[in-house]
Amino acid sequence: MTVAQYLARQLRAWGVDTFFGVPGDTVLPLLEALRAEEGVRWIACRHEAAAALAASAYAKASGRMAACVADGGPGAVQLLNGVYDARRDRVPMFVVTGQLARTRMGTGWPQDADPGLAYRGTTVFGRTLCHPAQLPEFLRAAFRAARHRPGPVRLSVPEDLWQQPVQHPHPGVASPAAAPPPAASGRIQPDTAALEQAARTLQHAQRPAILVGQGARAAASVLAELASDLDAAVVHTLPALGVIPFAFPLNLGVAGEFGTQAAANALAQADAVLMVGTTWRQPGYLNPSAKLIQVDCSMEHLGIAFDPAPGIWGAAEEVVPALRDELARLGRKPRPAWRSFIEEQRRRWEQEIASVAATAADGALHGPAGPAAFPEGAATLVPERAGAAAPAAALHPGLVARLLGDHVTDDAIIAVDSGNHTFWFARYFRARHQRILLSGHWRTVGFALPAALGAKLAQPARQVVAFCGDGGFAMHLAELTTAVAHGLAIACVVLRDDRFGEEESLQRSRGLAPFGTRLRNPDFAAVARACGAHGYTASNPAELESALRAVLPALARGEVGVVEAAVQRVDPLRPQPLPALAAPAWV
């Protein structure tokens, strides 16, 4: 077989059956091999960055590896944004890039670039093929690295090697259609002494809290039981929103800068925090005297942001039940004052959510959860300053997030972009069991639409929605045609205020005049219809409800839709961290 055939067949045999990419002359032989390989899906994207973001989201939604493919030179460079996303969020991805013929590499020929330099720091394994005999060993090493580290791996192939034959592999090296390199087997046995120490710490705590990360998903029900036994406040990282549903009475929402004031208040007062399956690192929101317990299945993650005492290496589904049982042995200790504090924070947060529908044209909140009810100021909505009037008859952005939560299915996947709308989503989306996809550590703008494509391919039976601002949506707007062409039924909810909102908010918070942030947008609904999708516009709650009732059920019929929601230009105030908070009266 040729190098191209061998690569296509071996990846397919190892479970990599979905390839996102943009064609280019240095990868044409690979495209032909993929065309001939049964069971392979090729998703032609409109931009390489979108292809890589889709591949990253595919892995986030499924746990399985996808591949992204690009031409050498410019194509390989444009993949980098999505490859960085996979690297920073630690998900597997196979990156294949073409390259000039070996005789032209390094000569300054058009599109000559060194992929090793370009991809330095972005992959857990990266090689440029120099001879066909290297291919079997490179593939085994790459696949092993992607699985065990995990993260993206790269293979660059010069165009004069694609058609070269691959000789019989050396002994011990995988042959085509062989099983993948063996995975690690067995279970991590949590340290008994660490479990006992953690249980004693939680038992002695007066104000315990549990910080839930997405690595806690398999232990969600037991975590809820543990929280009830401890009278512990439950807070989430944003990717873990929905691991424990909004309806759970001790749930105070998302922690940190993009979270709720209720969560910030609880973490500011907690004297012990159990962190499960998270690398969250915002120390300004933690009580500095709190005792921290960290549970993670990756030894590398223990102590990555804080110094836990103790750190417990193990899967959440193994450790959390053991902790619950150890605490049961020690005996339940009621904490009525702390539980009353949690219930009060919960009540105020729920009032804020309920009152978001009652907004005035100037963007100020009304009702019992307005500024008077939140003296810290976290629920105050700042209207547009002089010289930039808010759009007439526009929606409050928090209401869009709230209503979306009312209409999506319980198991929907929501791909959330980066920007001001992320704050509104974290604060007002009442999650049940939905799965939230983010560009978590990379935080690239433009993530949501390509991510929705990858998520839909990974989970075709589930409802998939992209939630984004107008700036991010426009970055990969052409991928709507990708969704239509491949029958990927996704819905895009676009918050339109004709600006890069987060950047403008930051300018104002630093005493600067807004500059360089305003956008001239097209009619997104009309663009959607021109692409072959449905397009709806909404500027008041009734129109938004109507649009969501139209676009979301249509997903079950395989139809693509866009809802353009005109939103007020209001700036979120981040939850106030510890230094600004006074201790509650009962402490």
What pLDDT, on a 0 to 100 scale, did the predictor assign at position 176? 56
Q: How far apart are CA 407 and CA 409, in angstroms?
A: 7
Taken in order 472, 478, 484, 486, is the CA torsion positive or negative? negative
What pLDDT, on a 0 to 100 scale, did the predictor assign at position 184? 62
Q: Which residue has the tokens 């060993």?
A: 137
> What pTM does this model have?
0.90
- The DSSP code sequence of 29-55 is HHHHHHHHSTT-EEEE-SSHHHHHHHH
What pLDDT, on a 0 to 100 scale, did the predictor assign at position 155? 97
Contact predicate 250/229, CB 8 Å: no
Q: How far apart are CA 202 and CA 199, in angstroms?
A: 5
Q: In the chain, what's the furthest Cα-to-Cα distance?
A: 77
Tell me the mean pLDDT per 10 residues along the chain, length 587. 95 95 96 95 97 98 96 94 95 95 84 86 94 94 90 96 82 55 69 90 95 93 95 95 95 93 94 92 89 87 79 90 92 93 95 73 36 32 37 82 96 96 94 94 95 98 97 97 97 96 90 92 96 96 96 96 95 75 46
What pLDDT, on a 0 to 100 scale, did the predictor assign at position 438? 95
What pLDDT, on a 0 to 100 scale, did the predictor assign at position 359? 52
What pLDDT, on a 0 to 100 scale, did the predictor assign at position 539? 94
Which backbone phi and psi does 110 adopt, to 5 degrees?
Answer: -50, 135
What is the DSSP code (8-state) at residue 68? E
Q: How far apart are CA 79 and CA 223, in angstroms?
A: 39
Structure tokens at 382: 């700042």
Amino acid at 222: V
Strand partners, 156: 97, 128
Which backbone phi and psi does 126 adopt, to 5 degrees?
Answer: -150, 130
Query: By C-alpha distance, which of 220, 227, 269 is closest to 242?
Result: 220
Tell me how far CA of residue 532 lies from CA of 415, 479, 485, 558, in angstroms.
21, 12, 9, 12
What pLDDT, on a 0 to 100 scale, did the predictor assign at position 466? 98
What pLDDT, on a 0 to 100 scale, did the predictor assign at position 355? 85
What's 480-541 look like in SS3?
HHHHHHCCCCCEEEEEECCECHHHHHHHHHCCCCCCCCECCCCCHHHHHHHCCCEEEEECCH
Extended beta strands in 248-306, E state: 251-254, 272-276, 291-296
Contact predicate 358/367, CB 8 Å: yes
CB atoms within 10 A of CB 504: 24
In three-state secondary structure terms, 570 is coil
